[in-house]
Amino acid sequence: MVNDMKDLSVELCGVKLDNPVIPASGTFGFGREHNEFYDINILGSISIKGTTREARFGNPTPRIAECRSGLINSVGLQNPGVDAVVAEELPHLRSIFHKPIIANVSGFSIDEYVECCQKMDSAEQVAIIEVNVSCPNVHNGGMSFGTQPEMAAEVTRAVKAVTHKPVFIKLSPNVTDIVAIARACEEAGADGICLINTLLGMRIDTMRRRAVIANKMGGLSGPAVFPVAVRMVYQVSKACNIPVMGCGGVESASDVIEMMMAGATAVQVGAANLKNPYACKEIIESLPTEMDRLGITSLRDIIGIVE
């Protein structure tokens, strides 16, 4: 069989994964729902739903707007809060998923990031902490932490001071120079970079003459953003010496390989899960065939192969 000859395994900061495919935060919940469709242990890892200090109901509805090549969402980090996640969601996930878990953390102040990361760092089930710096800084007029190198570095330094596990900073693509921000995070001690988060988008209901989403704007994800994600993964992986997790519009095994050739060590699948709950399973199962077609025996051999 093709599968017997192919090595799909990768390693992120000493954390070994059977394959590079990871459901992206916010598209897979805490694993419960998808485990009803298939055995989620086929996955390389899971990036759990974005977690904040306090429980959040999220943004007003409607929160979703469809687009020709993706969707716009403005869910607003709906989650039960970090204490409930650590006490209830992580133990349940561990009972159905027996591999390393990635905890996605968000915050509206440095103190909130620090507290959430501290609690996730002490959770036995968590192997990697993914810090989303696309949140608005409430102490700085609502500007996203990830839009300026100095602010992204400040978050990185603060969370690295209270954690022992690898920290990946998830960056926003809504910036002019992604490389400057990634380098600032690396210099501040980040163990890895995850990119991209969603691009800011908007849809208008022309009949009603108003924005489709209650918040007016939201994050565009899906195949439309894939070329932007590949470009940013390529730029950052060439400029930095820490691993990159690629994310944005991935829908197929071919997309995973393209993202890895651009420089990603692991690849997250987001919007595709919302359209097809079997997306990650199908991608993993078709990877050996795609590798065979391209003459690839080990995925680790193609990471950053494009000059």
Domain spans in the chain, listed from the N-terminal domain onward:
2-58+77-199+222-302
Q: What is each CA distance from 55 to 51, 84, 196, in whole angstroms?
A: 8, 8, 25
Q: Is 222 helix (H, G, I), strand (E, B) or coil?
A: coil
CA distance 65 to 74: 9
Phi, psi dihedral angles at 31 (to 5 degrees) = 90, -20
Q: Name the token pair of 228.
A: 């932007």
Q: What is the pTM of this model?
A: 0.95
How confident is the model at residue 1, as a pLDDT?
45
List, by residue number, the catalytic residues.
Answer: 135
CB–CB of 196/232 below 8 Å?
yes
Is residue 50 within 8 A of residue 104, CB to CB? The reply is yes
How are strands ordered across the β-sheet holding 199-202?
64-67, 70-73, 217-221, 199-202
The CATH code that applies to domain 2-58+77-199+222-302 is 3.20.20.70
Measured between alpha carbons, how far is residue 32 from residues 47, 96, 196 in Å? 13, 8, 25
Per-10-residue mean pLDDT for the chain, 307 residues long? 78 98 96 95 97 94 94 93 97 96 96 98 96 76 83 97 98 96 98 96 97 94 97 98 98 98 98 96 98 98 98
pLDDT at 142: 57
